[in-house]
A = this chain, B = another copy of it.
C-alpha cells in the first residue's frame, strides 16, 4: 500500500509534456506576425487530435475565441508562466563530458528558465576550462555554494556507475530537484524531485515501431 511518486497532480503529465511544443510553435508564429491560432492548426502541427489541444490549454487561463482561435501572444505569455519558464532557476551540472557539454551549449535551457551556474567534474583536463562561459570546477570545490547561489537543480551527466554518488552529493548540497541523464536509477529522499531522461527509451520505441511495421507488411 505504499504510494509510489504520489500524484496529487491537477494537470496530467502528458499535457505538461505537450505544452512546451505548443509554446515553441506559438513563439514561431509570433515571430512570423500571426496574431491568432486555432486548436486545429496546433493539432495539425503536432499530429494530434484538436480536442486534445483544447483540453490541454483549458488547464491554463487561456481562453479562445469561437471561429478565431487563441491569441498567439496570450499562448506564449500564459504558457511560459504556467510552465515556470519565465522565472530563472539556477542549476549545477556534474559531469562535463560530451553530454554535459552539449547541455551547457544549449541556449534553449536559458530561454526556458534554467541557468546553469557552474559545472563540476573530476577530470583534470576539463577542470578550469570554461564551456560556453560556464566554468568547470573540481567536484570537491564550492560544495556549499549551492545554497548561496540558490541552486535548486542538479544535473547529472556522469557515467551511470557514478550517478548515485553524485546524487548523494547533490542532496547534501541542499538541492531540490535532480535531472538525471544516466540510465541508472538513483535513490534520494522523498522530498527530492527526480526526473530521469534517458535516450534509450526513445530508441526502444523507434525499434518497436520499426519492427511492428515489418510485421504488418
**Contact (Cβ within 8 A) A83 B208:** yes
**Contact (Cβ within 8 A) A210 B21:** no
Q: Would you list which residues of chain A between 159 and 204 have a CB under 8 Å from chain B?
A: 160, 176-177, 179, 183-185, 191, 193, 195-204
Q: How far is the CA of A14 from the CA of B50 in the complex (A)?
A: 23
Q: Is A102 engaged at the interface, CB distance under 8 Å to the other chain?
A: yes
Neighbouring B residues of A103 by C-beta, 8 Å:
199
Report the minimum CB–CB distance from A70 to chain B (whole Å). 18
Q: How many subunits of this chain does the assembly comprise?
A: 2
Tell me how many residues of A have a C-beta within 8 Å of chain B. 68
Task: Identify which of A1-9, A61-69, A122-130, A135-143 touches chain B.
Answer: A1-9
Mask of A46-80 contacts with B, CB within 8 angstroms, 1/0: 11110000000000000000000000000000000
**Contact (Cβ within 8 A) A200 B112:** yes
Query: CB-nearest residue of chain B relative to A83?
Result: B204
Neighbouring B residues of A104 by C-beta, 8 Å:
98
Q: How far is the CA of A211 from the CA of B83 in the complex (A)?
A: 9
**Contact (Cβ within 8 A) A195 B199:** no
- What are 29 of the A-B contact pairs (CB < 8 Å)? A8-B216, A11-B208, A16-B201, A16-B205, A16-B208, A17-B204, A17-B205, A20-B183, A20-B201, A24-B184, A47-B185, A85-B203, A85-B204, A85-B207, A97-B105, A98-B106, A99-B106, A101-B102, A102-B102, A106-B199, A108-B200, A112-B203, A113-B207, A153-B206, A177-B206, A193-B210, A193-B213, A195-B206, A195-B209
